[in-house]
Amino acid sequence: MSLSAYLEARRTEIDAALAAWLPAPPETPAVVADAMRYSVTAGGKRLRPVLCLASAEAVGGDRASAMPAACAIEFIHTYSLIHDDLPAMDNDTMRRGRPTLHVVAGEGMAILAGDGLLTEAFALLSRHAGTGRAADAARTLRVIQVIAVAAGSAGMVGGQALDLACVTSDPSGRPALALDADGLRVMHGRKTGALIRAAAVAGAIMGGATDATIAAIDAAAAELGLAFQIVDDLLDVEGASHDLGKTAGKDAAAGKPTYPALYGVTQSRAMADACLARAETSLVRAGLTDSRLLDIGRWIVAREN
Amino acid sequence: MSLSAYLEARRTEIDAALAAWLPAPPETPAVVADAMRYSVTAGGKRLRPVLCLASAEAVGGDRASAMPAACAIEFIHTYSLIHDDLPAMDNDTMRRGRPTLHVVAGEGMAILAGDGLLTEAFALLSRHAGTGRAADAARTLRVIQVIAVAAGSAGMVGGQALDLACVTSDPSGRPALALDADGLRVMHGRKTGALIRAAAVAGAIMGGATDATIAAIDAAAAELGLAFQIVDDLLDVEGASHDLGKTAGKDAAAGKPTYPALYGVTQSRAMADACLARAETSLVRAGLTDSRLLDIGRWIVAREN
């Protein structure tokens, strides 16, 4: 199967599971269920859930056992986009080619829909704790821990807070926080990298991997997460709004530090390629040569949107 | 021990655990850790964690085993207050006698601090899964499920969405949603009642209660949650801003449906007393006569702030 056929097949499975597991009336009031569904079904690359399923398969596990974790992570990713797009944060009005949720449902409902998706991620994880065997319960608890730490204030929320502090002026008009190259890497490691790593690690845990294999997948995913962010910055500089489905050049205009701004386009490209090479080394050392994980890494670096 | 001494002792334990378990640098960036701490340490009645610990004790369990659940629920309660106070929601500038978080830290950081506290609740629950025995893992997963469902779009978030829809005008200037007496009860059951019930149920589960006892505690807590809301509405009408630490009469001014508005003050008082009586019946039938749960119920109905 070609990579594009593989990705298409996985996305179809993931989209079906997301649609089935989204809260709906009568348990959930329609006014907030509709808002949650609007954002989750807006499409997107489904990179994190695909990586989660591929990781479970790579370690010889059952794809179905990783599906709740894959969907929980996509719920969390979607909530983070909804909250990031709010006027008090990035103030984006377009996302994936459609008006952002706060534009169509109001700011209050957008905040609540994000809160609902984040909470539903943990409801979903704890509801599908496998067959009831003790090993399944232990794996599920470990996955909840990995995802909560990655998504929380030590991970994604913390990275977003650093990002926000970079574009918030103190009384003298300077940014409240100025990031150098190291600070930029740490910020993105939290904001984008942590959840990508958690996706791969959660798949490996649910797939029954050993701790050594989980660590190798974690290291590879950290490289892929950084490559993803560098390519994102490059696309923001190079891309047209049409292809990205969002406003191009917005980060640079907002004075946010980016990889091309710090290193230039050519060196940024080389850095992304180096990340991919290090991810490959990590996977090969763990004997994970016959998996889709590296293909997904190549796609992350070569993608055009 | 008098009830007030009991409450004081439990609050001291809870405040110490909350302070110890709040995220802190270097794992969490100071800018968001400080914001989370500001709101969690602002005080408050700690009703939900006290109820959680009292419930564990009532069924003969160990109070310490319920402390992570008690603190996780207080993190969730605090996040819900931060988000409810935002300009896009209730637009409150004072809470517990202090400026609300978005006033001191900005809207964006307040949204992120709320997101961080909600996520940390699940990190805390999954980190303290007991001694590693299979029974502990199963109980913890069950508690995560109970709390996530109660806090999510089928519970607290759903109730807040209904509340928001009541005060949001459609293009003709009418509320997008109009609640009758039944609708008001359902809205509050989600918005306030669900998390109060989850607190009592989580304590009972961690304390090792049977399913029948858990059901009796759930039924009693549902009555106490309704009584709490009725008394809250009465205090909003009767109380001074000074005692409440927030703006009195605000709900009525915003055109929100309240119990005194629907039933009058005298009948609302009688309804709260009836809730307490039904809670007592449920606890007595389950043989839970020698517990603090009913004392806490009496305090809920008699409280003056």
Contact B111 A158 (CB under 8 A): no
| Whole-number average pLDDT of chain A | 91
Q: Which residue of A has its CA nearest to B87?
A: A108
- 8 Å CB contact between B233 and B265: no
Provide the CATH number for the domain around residue A189: 1.10.600.10
Using one digit for the tens of pLDDT, what is the confidence trace for A147-172?
999 999 999 999 999 999 887 766 67
Q: What is the pLDDT at residue B181?
A: 85
- Which of B127-131, B141-145, B258-262 reaches the highest mean pLDDT? B141-145
Give B-chain residues touching A89 at CB under 8 angstroms: 108, 111
pLDDT at A241: 46
The number of distinct structural domains making up chain A is 1
Chain B residues whose CB is inside 8 A of the A152 CB are 23, 116, 119-120, 123
Dihedrals φ, ψ of A292, to 5°? -85, -5
Q: Where are the beta strands (DSSP E) in chain A?
A: 94-95, 98-99
Whether the Cβ atoms of residue A147 and residue A125 lie closer than 8 Å to each other: yes
Q: Which two tokens stand for residue B166?
A: 């009541």
| CA–CA gap between residue B107 and residue B110 (Å, rounded) | 5
**B170: which 2 tokens?**
């459609």
Segment A205-215, tens digit of pLDDT? 999 999 999 99
Residue range of the domain that includes A134: 3-302
pLDDT in tens, A15-69: 999 999 999 999 999 999 999 999 999 988 999 999 999 999 999 999 999 999 9
Does the beta-carbon distance from B154 to A23 stay under 8 Å?
yes
- Entry pTM: 0.95
Residue B254's pLDDT band, with cuts at 50, 70 and 90, is: low
Helix axes B134-151, A134-151, angle to 10 degrees: 50
B119–A153 C-beta distance less than 8 A: yes
> Tokens 């910055």 map to which residue?
A233
**Distance in angstroms (rounded) separating the CA atoms of residues B222 and B195:** 10
Q: What are phi and psi of A239, to 5 degrees?
A: -75, 160
Residue pair B204/B51 in contact by the 8 Å Cβ criterion: no
Q: What type of residue sits at position B121?
A: A
Contacts A128 to B, Cβ<8 Å = none
Closest CB to B86: pick one of A79, A111, A145.
A111
Asked if A164 and B112 come within 8 Å (Cβ–Cβ), the reply is yes
Q: Tell me, what's the pLDDT at A144?
A: 97
Nearest-5° Cα angle at B287, B284 to B288 = 75
Chain mean pLDDT for chain B: 91
Out of B88, B144, B165, whose CB is closest to A107?
A: B88
Task: Name the closest residue on chain A to residue B186, using Cα atoms.
Answer: A29
- Chain A: nearest CA to B224, how far in angstroms? 22
Chain B residue whose CA is closest to A32: B161
Q: How far is B245 from chain A (nearest CA, A)?
A: 24
Nearest CA in chain A to B112: A157
Percentage of chain A beyond pLDDT 90 is: 78
**For B154, nearest residue in chain A (alpha carbons):** A28
Contact between B145 and A123 using a beta-carbon 8 Å cutoff:
yes
Q: Which residues of A are less than 8 Å from B151 in CB distance?
A: 119
Q: Which amino acid is at B105?
A: A
Of A118 and B305, which is predicted with more confidence? A118
Confidence check: pLDDT of B247 > 60: no
- Report ipTM (2 d.p.): 0.95
**Mean local confidence (pLDDT), B241-262:** 66
Q: Is the pLDDT of residue B248 over 60?
A: no
Using a CB-CB distance cutoff of 8 angstroms, which residues of chain B are in contact with residue A23?
152-154
H/E run at residue A151? helix A134-151
Rounded CA gap, A305 and A295, in Å? 17
Nearest CB neighbour to B141, from listed A89, A140, A164: A140
Report the pLDDT value the prediction gives residue A61, as an integer from 0 to 100.
95
A258 band by pLDDT with thresholds 50, 70 and 90:
confident
- Interface contact flag, A106 B88, Cβ < 8 Å: yes
Tell me what the mean pLDDT of segment A259-285 comes to: 95
Pairwise CA distance, residues B57 & B42, whole Å:
27
Q: How far apart are CA A86 and CA B264, in angstroms?
A: 40
What average pLDDT does this structure show over B188-216?
97
CB contact under 8 A, A153 and B33: yes
Q: What whole-number distance in Å separates Cα of residue B147 and Cα of residue A127?
A: 12
pLDDT at A246 over 80: no
Question: In this complex, which of B29, B137, B148 lies closest to A161 when CB atoms are compared?
Answer: B29
B242 pLDDT band (50/70/90 cuts)?
very low
* Three-state SS at A94: strand
Size of interface A-B (CB pairs under 8 A): 176
Beta carbons of A152 and B127 less than 8 Å apart: no
Read off the pLDDT of each residue in A102-127 and give the average, rounded to a whole number: 97
CA distance B232 to B304: 9
Q: Which of A109, A134, A177 sits opposite B161 (nearest CB)?
A: A109
The C-alpha atoms of residue A113 and residue B83 are separated, in whole angstroms, by 12
Scanning every residue of chain B, which has its alpha carbon at the shortest distance from the alpha carbon of A26? B154
- Give the gap in angstroms from C-alpha B253 to the nearest C-alpha of chain A: 19
